[in-house]
Structure 1
Amino acid sequence: LSDLEIYLKSPLNSTILVVCHKVTGDGKKSADKLSEVVKLAAQKGVYFVSKKFYDNQIPDWVVGYLRDKGIKIDPLAANLLTEFVGNDLSRLAQELDKLIITLPAGSKLIQAADIERNIGVSRDFNRFELTKALGEMNFVRALRIADHFARNLNANPFVLTITAIYQYFVRILKYHFLADKSRASVAKELGVNEFFVAEYERAAKRYSAARCVSVIHLLSDYDMRSKGVNNSSTDHGELLRELIYLIIFGK
């Protein structure tokens, strides 16, 4: 770093130097060590920090990536792809490029059916559809999805499923306390596309704030049980079925 610091004090105009540094461990300590180099880089050139996206920011990134290529994507499809791939932007870009290639000639819209057909994730049996079924208190639908998950636990880990349910009910709880319930404001505060605001509005009518708090406590309990606490034999598939029943029919 000392050599780099010396160079940055008097860089060559004929040279383009790019330094990439990945912060690991304690980001603050790493940044402190680089503070002088960073200060010089900002003074003499361009200093750019690329922060990892939160999960709820990924669908918008997908929309923007495709927009730059002249392609649109259905909000349901964007969420479905995000759920399947996660927040690995490199992999997302690869999957999106594949989808673009598979679009019929003249088509400029990616839909959920395209995700299912070309990537392999089911548009009917996924965490997004599970939380939607819970929000609607549709026990039969939610249980059918849970049964599918139970048969495919490697592709649908319990920890990811319970996290998705937790995030869903936290948003419903947050919705109850929003002063401005206009669609744009709700979408911004909940970190979702405006397309999904109506779903949260309906779910909030079925689940009071107090009920949401109870569900969140229930999720915490079942998260511990999935790790073996107060549970020696019930498998993850059965835990999920129990959880769904208690969320919908519990008090």
Structure 2
Amino acid sequence: MPMPTLLKPVLTIARYTLLEALRSRLPWLCVLAACAGAGLAGFLQQLALTESAAVQASLLAAGLRLASVFLLATFIVTSMAREAADKGLEWLLAMPMPRAAYVLGKLLGYGALAAVPAVLFGLLMALFAPPARSALWAASLLGELWIVAAFSLLCAASLQQALPALAAVSGFYLLARSVGSLQLLAHGARAGDTWAQQAMAGGIDVLALLLPRLDTFTRTEWLLYPSGGWPDLAGIATQTAIYAGLLAACALCDFYRRNI
């Protein structure tokens, strides 16, 4: 199908995806999460004996990062599960448009939606850290959310039930966040390792090659110290493009093989 013909249904689906997010009050949930995080960080700041400002910024950044991932993944999974239960997916795919338009439209809508918490939380962190560091943190958070959105779309489309899809997204995110630490633990003391330990270390190395290194994304120390820079963002952008593209291709394959 020519690109101009494909572009119109993609933009239409992306528009209605954003409208659904607005009607479900997702932006207001992000505002509520920001207020709750700021209040909790302010309370914990009073308990810190030293470097209270750094403690407040680090706790707030960690809380906002988890909140943005949870809210976005939950919305995507529940939205697509509800759409499948209401037979809206069958109705859309029965229309004279390619299935790629549905997947790309959803991805475009969810990608634009991910900018809401990234920008909002980045502006909030600018109150606790220099603007340049907050912008770097927010841009990295946006890349992280794009990967989570693509994987959530794949799980929701393949599993078609909210609870298994949310469990799969949670497992993926936890593994991608901790695979670097798992590698360090596996290769910590190799001299007296048994064959089972070496096999486990090799398995973790393979897992690290397959998963995105989300532990290098949205690092809290960027807000506290001048340790990060725009070269770090280039590596993050590369990982985001690779994994989001691969996950989108997997979702397309799943849609095209399905009989609807």
TM range (shorter): under 0.3
More helix by share: 2
TM-score, normalised relative to structure 2: 0.25
Q: Rg bigger for which structure? A: 1
The higher relative CO (CA closer than 8 Å, separation ≥ 6) is in: 2
TM-score, normalised relative to structure 1: 0.25
